[in-house]
Structure 1
Amino acid sequence: MSREKLIEMTRSLVAHGEADTMELADEVVGVPASDYTDEERFELEKERIFKRMPLMVAPSCELPEPGCYKAMEIAGIPVLVTRQKDGTAQAFLNSCTHRGNPVAEGSGKATRFTCGYHGWTFKNDGDLLAVASPKDFGTVDKAQFCLTKFPTLERAGLIWATLDPRSTLDIATYLCGYDEMLEHFGFKSWHLFEQRTLPGPNWKTAYDGYLDFYHLPVLHKDTFGADFFNRANYFAWGPHQRLASPSTSAQKTGSDEIVDLTKIAEEDWPIDALTQGVWTIFPHISIASFYGGGGRGAMISQLFPGKTVGESFTTQFYVMENEPEDEAVRQGAHDQFAFLETVVADEDYTTGKRQHEALQAGMMDKVWFGRNEGGGQVFHQWVDRLIKADDAELDAIFAPQLEAAE
C-alpha cells in the first residue's frame, strides 16, 4: 500500500511538471511575529511539544550494535539512548536514581554505566546492578531504582522517544502511517558516514527553511544556482510532511543519470524518483537524499531548541546506503557533506539569525506564508494546535490521521 502511495504522489508530481503548475494553499496566511520572539511562548513550545511529542532521537545506524549508546540533552532533559543486549533500542532519563547525576557522557559502547558521583552501577538495559558500599548505604529494592525509561519505538531505521515516562500517546499512532513511507529509504541497513552539530536561530525559523523551496534560487543562488527549482507540492500525514518539486524527471538510482519519468512504466520508476524531495518529521527532523561521489546517501537533520528563544542547534547525520569502500566515493561523500554545511550554516542559518534579530525589534505584527508555502502554514497550525491540546486529547488528535493514512 505504501509503495502505491509513493507512485500516486510521483504521478501527481509528473502531471504538475508537465503542466508547469503546482498545488497551492487556499490563501496567504499570517503568523504572529511574536511567535518567534516571545520567551513565554518559547518555554511553552518546549513544554508542550518537545517534552510531550515523540522525537526522533537517533538514526538506527548511530547505534549499530548491542552495547552502543549516546548521551544527549533535549530541552533541558538529559537523555541516554542505548542498544540493549537483545538488539532493541531504549531511551532513559540520564540521571542516577540515587542523586540524579548523569550516568553517561558522549557516546560509545558499554555494557554498564557507573555514576561518577557515588559509584552506583546500572546495566545497559537500565537495571540497577550494584550500590556502592551496600552495607553502609542500607538495604534497597534494586528493582525500584532502575533508570527511568522513556517510551521508545524503532521504525524505518529511526529511533523515537517521548520524554515523558507517563505519556499515554502511542508513538506509532503519532506517526500517522508516515513511518511506512520512510521504510522505503531502507535506513535500517544504512551506514553512518559522518555527523556534526551546528548552532542555529530560533527553532521555528530554522524549521521553516526545511519546509520551503521558494527560497532556493534566491538565497542559494551561489551554491545551488539561480535556476534551481523553487516550487514544491506538499503531502501530509498528520503534522509530518513531504515536499517535492513538480517534475517529469528524476535521478536514476545508483548513478548521476537523470531519467524522463514520462517514458518509463510506473512500476519501473526508480526509488529516488519515489522518495525525492524533503521529508520532515514533526517537530524537528528533515531528511533529504544526496549523492556523494556516486554513493547514495541522505542528510538527516535533527533540530532542537536552544537555551534561549533565539537559539537552536542541529545535528546533521550523513548516512549512506553502503559504507564507502572506494576512496573516490568516500571523498565524494565527504565533499557533499562539507558542501551542505556551507549551505545550511553560512546561508540558511546565518539568514535565520539576521531574520530573528530583525523580528526582535518588535516592528512587525506578522510574518507571511504564501499560497506556494503550504508546508509552513501547516507546520505553524500544528504547533498552535498541540500547544493548546491537553494530554488526554493527543490520541484523539492523531488516531484519525492514522486511520486516514490506512
Structure 2
Amino acid sequence: MSREELVSMTRNLVSHGAADTMEYADEVVRIPASSYTDPDTFELEKRNIFRRLPLMVAPSCELPEPGDYKAMDICGVPLLLARQRDGSIGAFLNMCTHRGNPVVSGTGNATRFTCGYHGWTFKSDGSLLGVASPKDFGPVDKATLCLKRFPAYESAGLIWATLDPDSQLDIADYLCGYDDLLSAFGFDGWTLFSQRTLPGPNWKTAYDGYLDFYHLPILHKDTFGADFYNRANFFAWGPHQRLSTPSKFAIKVQGDDDQQMDLEAMNDADLPQDVLVQGVWTIFPHISIASFYGGGQRGAMISQLFPGDTVGESTTTQYYVMENQPETDEQVASAREQFDFLEVVVRDEDYATGKRQHEALQSGMLDHVLFGKNERGGQQFHQWVEKLTHASDAQLQDIFAGEQREAAE
C-alpha cells in the first residue's frame, strides 16, 4: 500500500478545494440510450463481462474461518467459495460432477459437501471423496471428477473469482495495483456486521449512481441535505476508479463528536488514514466501497451489484463491514441505524429513480443520454464497458498488460 500515492491524491483534492475548482473531462459524452435497454446488449455484457472478468465475490470477513463456505449464483453460474484448511480461498463450480446438481446451498462451515441427489461427496478442496454405492455404479477415476475450479485471488481483505475456468487473465494484472491502495482500509482485519440484498434497475443504470456526485444535493436533499457537495475528482487504475470531493476540509468522527480538520494546514505525516481513503472506490464492473461511521467507529458499505434475469433488473448485496465488532447495545443500535439509513438512500432514492429512468428509456423516445464534463467517472465506466465487452480473450490480456506497463512508467 502506497501512503505516498494516497497523500498525493489528498493534496490534489485539497488544492482544488482551496481554489474552488474540480477536474473536468474533455467534453460532454453521448451514450446511446439503447445501451441500457437492448436485451441483446445486456446478454452480451453478462457473457463477456460478468462471466469472463474477475469479480469481487465476497469480503474476506464473510468467510473468516477454515471450512467457511458460501454458495451463490452469478449470471446463471453456480459458484461455491470455500475457505481451505491452510487459510487460502477456493472457488468452484457448484455442480456435482455426476449429474450437475448443486452440492451445497447458502452459507455455513463444513469439511465436505454431499450432493443431495445421489450422495456423491466432495472435500472442501473440491476433490471427489466418495461415490455412493460404488460397486453398483461402476469404476470411476475420482481424480478426473473433482469440482471444477475457478481462478481465485484474495487481497486487501477482498475475494475475487473469474467464472471461466480456462481464463488466462491474471486477476492481479486485472486489478492494476488497485488492491494495494484498497489495503489502506484494513479490511483484512475487519468484521462483517450485517448484509442484505436489494432489487434494482438495469445494472448500468444502478452503477451510474455510484459514480455520480452531481445528483447528491438534488436526489438526496431529504437524506444527505441540499447543501451536500456535488463535485468529484476522478482517479483511475485501469477500469477501477476512485471519486472524491475536492475540499481542503475533512470531517473526522471522534466518538459522538464531529471534528472539522483543515487539511491544508496539516503535514502529510499527520493526515489520518481514514481521511486518506474518503470518497467512493469502485472495482469494475460491479463494486462500490464507501466509508461511514456507526456505533462510534469506522465502517464501510461494500455494494456488490449483479445483472438480473432481464435487462431492466439487477440485485445489489450491501455488506456493512466494521473495523471492530460493536459490543454494547448502544453501539449495535447505532451501527444498525447507519446501515438502515443507507438502505433507505439506495432503495427509495437511487434505485427507485433508476427504475423510473429505465422505464422511460424503454419508450425508445430518447436516442442518447448525456454525461457532462463533471461526470468523468460515468464517462470512463461506459467506455470501459464498451471496450471490454467487445474485446477478444487475447485482447483482454493485452489490454491489462498495457495498463501494467503504463502504471510502471
TM-score w.r.t. structure 2 length?
A: 0.98
Question: What SS does the corresponding residue of 2:98 show, helix, strand or coil?
Answer: coil
Output the CA distance in 2 between the equivalents of 1:404 and 1:252: 35
Deviations 1:58-114 (A, max 9, x none): 000000100001100001100011101111111110000000000010101111110
Paired residue for 1:336, among 335, 338, 341? Answer: 338
| Counterpart contact for 1:254–1:296, Cα < 8 Å | no
Deviations 1:176-217 (A, max 9, x none): 010000010000010000000000000000000000000000
Instruction: Establish whether residue 313 from structure 1 lines up as the match of residue 323 from structure 2.
Output: no
Give 1:303's aligned residue. Answer: 305
| Counterpart contact for 2:253–2:293, Cα < 8 Å | no
Give 2:270's aligned residue. Answer: 268
Output the CA distance in 2 between the equivalents of 1:258 and 1:68: 41
Shift of 1:263: 1.8
Q: 1:73-92 alignment to 2 at 5 Å? A: 73-92=73-92
Deviations 1:231-258 (A, max 9, x none): 0000000000000000111233655322
Give, as a single letter, the amino acid of the residue that structure 1 aligns with 2:18: E
Q: 1:26-105 alignment to 2 at 5 Å? A: 26-105=26-105
Give, as a single letter, the amino acid of the residue that structure 1 aligns with 2:293: Y
Give 1:122's aligned residue. Answer: 122
| Identity among equivalent pairs (%) | 71
Give 1:377's aligned residue. Answer: 379
Give 1:259's aligned residue. Answer: 261
Q: Which deviates more from structure 2 when the two are superposed, residues 349-358 or residues 387-396?
A: 387-396
Deviations 1:284-306 (A, max 9, x none): 00000000131100000000000
Q: 1:280-299 alignment to 2 at 5 Å? A: 280-299=282-301
Output the CA distance in 2 between the equivalents of 1:73 and 1:257: 43
Output the CA distance in 1 between the equivalents of 2:10 and 2:139: 63
Deviations 1:143-182 (A, max 9, x none): 1000000000000000000000000000000000100000
Question: What SS does the corresponding residue of 1:252 show, helix, strand or coil?
Answer: strand
Output the CA distance in 1 between the equivalents of 2:403 and 2:60: 26
RMSD: 0.9
Give, as a single letter, the amino acid of the residue that structure 2 aligns with 1:298: A
Q: 1:226-265 alignment to 2 at 5 Å? A: 226-252=226-252, 255=255, 256-265=258-267
| Counterpart contact for 1:305–1:313, Cα < 8 Å | yes
| Counterpart contact for 1:110–1:124, Cα < 8 Å | yes
Give, as a single letter, the amino acid of the residue that structure 2 aligns with 1:251: I
Output the CA distance in 2 between the equivalents of 1:356 and 1:281: 23
Output the CA distance in 2 between the equivalents of 1:118 and 1:223: 53
Output the CA distance in 2 between the equivalents of 1:269 and 1:333: 25
Output the CA distance in 2 between the equivalents of 1:62 and 1:314: 16
Output the CA distance in 2 between the equivalents of 1:216 and 1:3: 29
Paired residue for 1:390, among 392, 395, 407? Answer: 392
Output the CA distance in 2 between the equivalents of 1:392 and 1:58: 27
Q: 1:131-150 alignment to 2 at 5 Å? A: 131-150=131-150
Output the CA distance in 2 between the equivalents of 1:173 and 1:221: 40
Shift of 1:340: 0.1
Output the CA distance in 2 between the equivalents of 1:297 and 1:55: 22
- List gaps (5 residues or longer) in structure 2: none
Give 1:364's aligned residue. Answer: 366
| Counterpart contact for 1:294–1:332, Cα < 8 Å | yes
Output the CA distance in 1 between the equivalents of 2:260 and 2:69: 40
Aligned length: 406
Deviations 1:311-338 (A, max 9, x none): 0000000000011113222111100000
- List gaps (5 residues or longer) in structure 1: none
| Counterpart contact for 1:253–1:270, Cα < 8 Å | no
Give 1:111's aligned residue. Answer: 111
TM-score w.r.t. structure 1 length?
A: 0.99
| Counterpart contact for 1:253–1:271, Cα < 8 Å | no
Output the CA distance in 2 between the equivalents of 1:272 and 1:244: 13
Question: What SS does the corresponding residue of 2:116 show, helix, strand or coil?
Answer: coil
Instruction: Establish whether residue 154 from structure 1 lines up as the match of residue 154 from structure 2.
Output: yes
Output the CA distance in 1 between the equivalents of 2:364 and 2:219: 24
| Counterpart contact for 1:210–1:286, Cα < 8 Å | yes
Give 2:350's aligned residue. Answer: 348
Output the CA distance in 2 between the equivalents of 1:263 and 1:330: 35
| Counterpart contact for 1:284–1:304, Cα < 8 Å | yes
Give, as a single letter, the amino acid of the residue that structure 2 aligns with 1:242: R
Output the CA distance in 1 between the equivalents of 2:74 and 2:16: 40
Output the CA distance in 2 between the equivalents of 1:70 and 1:177: 27
Question: What SS does the corresponding residue of 2:192 show, helix, strand or coil?
Answer: strand
Question: What SS does the corresponding residue of 1:31 show, helix, strand or coil?
Answer: strand
